[in-house]
Structure 1
Amino acid sequence: MTSTPLLSNFFAGRWQDGTGNGSTLLDPVLGTSLVRVSSAGLNLAEGFAFAREQGGAALRALTYKQRAALLGDIVKVLQANRDAYYEIATANCGTTNKDSAVDIDGAIFTLGYYTKQGEALGDATLLLDGERIRVAKDPVFQTQHIMSPTRGVALFINAFNFPSWGLWEKAAPALLSGVPVIVKPATATAWLTQRMVKDVVDAGILPAGALSVVCGSSAGLMDQLQPFDVVSFTGSAETARIIRSHPAVAQRSVRCNIEADSLNSALLDPAAAAGDEAFNLLVSEVVREMTVKSGQKCTAIRRIFVPRALFDAAAEAIGAKLAKTTVGNPRNETTRMGALVSREQFDSVTAGIAHLQTEAETLFDGRSAALVDADPSVAACVAPVLLGHRQPMQAKVLHEVEVFGPVATLMAYDSEEQAYELIRRGEGSLVASVYSCDPAFIARAAIALADSHGRVHAISPDVAAMQSGHGNVMPMSLHGGPGRAGGGEELGGLRALGFYHRRSAVQGSTAALDVLMASGAPFKP
């Protein structure tokens, strides 16, 4: 028997311990055991039925405004326990306090945003989608499209990099919609997710069955899904393929949202010059995106496109800033970048860098520098690496392989159209950022890149001090992307509620539709 404490699952309205030894979560810097998780032995059918029948019915009995009030109460609980979450993130995720804030405070902000969005919907119990449409010559017979909460459960299978934000950015619109949530956090960093759920459950905020957490193996979870359930997955393209081909999705038409791999880009205006405002903004943003959370963000910059004449200047400027990044134990106040989440991820990133180096030259490699307060044979720390390719039209691997760590590749382009073509070789991404002083170029780039990106983030000197960041996902903007990025959509204000609602056309008399509309709120995403 192990002395490492076991985290309980909250499932079927009660706390339950999984059987067996389960999986041990480790400190990625010190290598020490923290807690164990196990989902073995859980009655999955019971838990899903309880969430659907108890949690779903209780949530749907409330108005949007009442459910928004629940989100507001969750915000208060999370704020009250914020210090504990930071301690867990340092121990289990290896992040500095600044990086932990992206996950923890980002989650609280997103919940607060949807609290306000829900309040604005008022006492409605359904959403009105558009205006009435006349069906017959006589206007007494019309159509009104409505959106009503699905009578199912939302299963979230989340990634390891955002155990806090990954839960709440999905749960906020789901709970606001009236749909109960079952979250299966990634095992490596499940502690923070479990603790947050525990605090909310202990506070007695939500109806029984509205929020459940299953830690450990995901085996059997997809088998429980029924036609009116939904599943949202964030993670690798390989796992996404398994989910898409599962009978629940392929045969029972369970609604599925996927966010997978993404080779996000940064593009510098061809009219830029070394050291000018646009150039400096790109350099700063690239360095930030390479180092925040050790590059473990689905939105991080992976490919950097600059005019050929600026390739060497950009490489020098980015490398100089990266050289100032101290890497190691996040508990040491001199550390600026912490660890990857595990030694397994360390091995994956190290192998990935070597794979990219088969095509790219190495422009900066910080891995020879000593770690701060950490044993390199134990800690999952990888220093930033900047690669480069001067003829990226000839590259293949660099446009296909995402290394999920502090790694990016600088690429030269010869014309504006060539830059767009190179960016599109990513085959669909979450975000591309554009750096320019010229509004006309920004507009052209946005139009050229919008079809292959979920978000185009334009950074110009006039917004430099207030822009939210290439990699920061804001709840009022769409998060998702086509093609390789998974084809999914999350957030985007009230658009997020669409995934948890079913659209239906009600055809009837003007009198009947008048009564119906009294129960609804206008839906104008």
Structure 2
Amino acid sequence: MKLANYVYGQWVEGGGEGIALLDPVNGEHLVSVSSEGVDVGRALSFARDSGGTALRALGYEARAGLLGKIAEVLTANRDAYYDISLRNSGSTAGDIAFDVDGAIFTLKAYARAGKALGDARLLKEGGRVALAKTDAFQGQHFLTPLSGVAVFINAFNFPAWGLWEKAAPALLAGVPVLVKPATPTAWLTQRMVADVVAAGILPPGALNIVCGSARDLLDHVGECDVVSFTGSADTAARIRTHPAVVARAVRVNVEADSVNSAILGPDAQPGSAEFDLAVKEIVRELTVKAGQKCTAIRRIFAPAAVARALADAVAARLAGMTVGNPRSEGVRVGPLVSKAQQAAAFEGLARLRQDAELVFGGGEGFVPVDADPAVSAFVQPTLLFCDKGLAAQHVHDVEVFGPVATVLPYADTAEVIALARRGGGSLVASVYSADAGFLAELVPGIAELHGRVMVVDAAIGGQHTGHGNVMPTCLHGGPGRAGGGEELGGLRALAMYHRRYVVQGGPGLLDALSAGAADAALLGA
């Protein structure tokens, strides 16, 4: 079966044999995708003219209602998504919930939040600005929805959540969506789009999908479009420097590489609640989705006196994690999504081992449960130990996109700040400490280079949402090598899909233009 593309209000099957999507456990050919023959320029024009116009004819609250209906459709088809995720991504039940249920949860969150904006169709920002000696001439800032398309070029690891965490704020803003999912796992994204299209919830052109090669997609983006990319820093650089993107100053949002950190404070001694909480979270980040998360822990910093004890505790728990075919009873960790990703992980692991020693895993003699290593894409959860600190050549730069992390000891707060910053910008760091003095120095010291800092102590315990769990109400993104982008953060995400402008004129005109506008301050509420 070849998956069709949904463009210009119709399903279009791409030409040729297409690219095969495989089961990463047994290598079975599942479906194929092709964008050959799809006129992506026409697709973008139709989305702008038809989908965008119809969406912006509605107010924010009405569009929020559409998101709620989408969530209902996805919930009704949840079992089908679980089956596709198992077959195409090799996901365990927990991994699938992380992706599929996370997508539904995010849609519901934006459906609720959007109601606060009422029936307005634009946002008024701040008060009037006096521009003359009297009130005769003033200025008022506004935010208006973009008339372009939100173009999503997505990663393979979250085919459900990766679409809807971006689409929810875009559609709420009144901007139509065209998604180009990563090819290896495009089946789930395409099925979700097909279900929403079949339900007739959105106007034609509001939701579009192109599967397979992006081809000349970027050649056709315009001044009012937004390109949002999740993936490698190299691809992000090519997007940012694409001639059409540069010439038209197209807005680009990027989430790229990230060597995220877990940091134990000096009080997190073996036997303490903070130590145990760190061990539990590190193991979870190594095993959920087989470490295939942009937010997963890659570097683990611990006081020198306890670093070895921490590594041993993590290794002991990893030893109890069964790795293999998710269809088999007792399996806790599934495969990577493809043989290509497996090969990339092994290559990265070899580079890390130039800096570090093996504590657990590494793949020697490893045989997954109920799977043929020759055709499957498994990587054994692996823990390394590196005592080279800032002198390490690869640990701070190489992100193995799989179940691999490295423990590094530190001497004092200044050193761990320097080590965390050496990653060059990350999506998230989690800190396990109740030491007020340590936290007062550490958090400001690393905040500049992290999009999110999660601090956990005994009082919080297991109530935290997780190092790698992205909440729709909080910022997702990071500076530097993490891409410099921002997503989610509640209604703050709508700013990406609006254009700020100021109108200068008389108070009567400004009153008329402001009538019915929602307060932009709600975006930060």
TM-score, length of structure 2 as denominator length: 0.98
Which aligned pairs between 1:243-282 and structure 2 lie closer than 5 A?
243-282=239-278
- Residue from 379, 396, 418 that aligns with 2:415: 418
Deviations 1:116-140 (A, max 9, x none): 1111100110011222222222134
> How far, CA to CA, are the matches of 2:439 and 2:197 in structure 1?
47
Which residue of the partner structure matches residue 111 of structure 1?
Answer: 107
Which residue of the partner structure matches residue 143 of structure 2?
Answer: 147
Task: Look up the SS of the partner of 1:411 in the other structure.
Answer: strand
> How far, CA to CA, are the matches of 2:172 and 2:49 in structure 1?
17
Which aligned pairs between 1:352-431 and structure 2 lie closer than 5 A?
352-365=348-361, 367=363, 368-431=365-428
> How far, CA to CA, are the matches of 1:233 and 1:59 in structure 2?
23
Which residue of the partner structure matches residue 511 of structure 2?
Answer: 514
> How far, CA to CA, are the matches of 1:439 and 1:99 in structure 2?
35
C-alpha displacement of 1:440: 4.2
Asked whether 1:284 is paired with 2:280, we answer yes
Letter in 2 for 1:19: G
- Residue from 67, 71, 75 that aligns with 1:75: 71
- CA 115–439 in structure 1, closer or farther in 2 if over 3 Å, else same: farther
CA RMSD of aligned residues (A): 1.0
> How far, CA to CA, are the matches of 2:321 and 2:244 in structure 1?
46
Which residue of the partner structure matches residue 432 of structure 2?
Answer: 435
> How far, CA to CA, are the matches of 1:26 and 1:219 in structure 2?
22
Asked whether 1:156 is paired with 2:158, we answer no
Deviations 1:125-160 (A, max 9, x none): 001122222222213422211100111111100000
> How far, CA to CA, are the matches of 2:329 and 2:442 in structure 1?
40
> How far, CA to CA, are the matches of 1:270 and 1:278 in structure 2?
10
C-alpha displacement of 1:10: 0.4
TM-score, length of structure 1 as denominator length: 0.98
> How far, CA to CA, are the matches of 1:518 and 1:332 in structure 2?
61
Which residue of the partner structure matches residue 221 of structure 1?
Answer: 217
> How far, CA to CA, are the matches of 2:206 and 2:439 in structure 1?
44
C-alpha displacement of 1:272: 2.3
Letter in 1 for 2:404: V
Which residue of the partner structure matches residue 135 of structure 1?
Answer: 131
Letter in 2 for 1:485: A
> How far, CA to CA, are the matches of 2:55 and 2:476 in structure 1?
26
Q: Is the 8 A contact 1:277 1:437 kept in 2?
A: no
Deviations 1:226-261 (A, max 9, x none): 111110000001111110110122111010001100
Structure 1: 5+ residue stretches without partners: none
C-alpha displacement of 1:444: 2.9
- CA 366–400 in structure 1, closer or farther in 2 if over 3 Å, else same: closer
> How far, CA to CA, are the matches of 2:390 and 2:516 in structure 1?
56
> How far, CA to CA, are the matches of 1:363 and 1:286 in structure 2?
14
> How far, CA to CA, are the matches of 2:101 and 2:390 in structure 1?
40
Q: Is the 8 A contact 1:323 1:366 kept in 2?
A: no
Task: Look up the SS of the partner of 2:298 in the other structure.
Answer: strand
- Residue from 461, 465, 483 that aligns with 2:462: 465
- Residue from 50, 54, 65 that aligns with 2:50: 54
Asked whether 1:456 is paired with 2:460, we answer no
State percent identity of aligned pairs: 57
C-alpha displacement of 1:438: 2.6
C-alpha displacement of 1:374: 1.0
Which residue of the partner structure matches residue 331 of structure 1?
Answer: 327
Which residue of the partner structure matches residue 445 of structure 1?
Answer: 442
Q: Is the 8 A contact 1:479 1:489 kept in 2?
A: yes
> How far, CA to CA, are the matches of 2:518 and 2:102 in structure 1?
28
Letter in 2 for 1:465: G
- Residue from 231, 235, 239 that aligns with 2:235: 239
Deviations 1:187-235 (A, max 9, x none): 0000000000000000000000000000000111111101111100000
Q: Is the 8 A contact 2:286 2:405 kept in 1?
A: yes
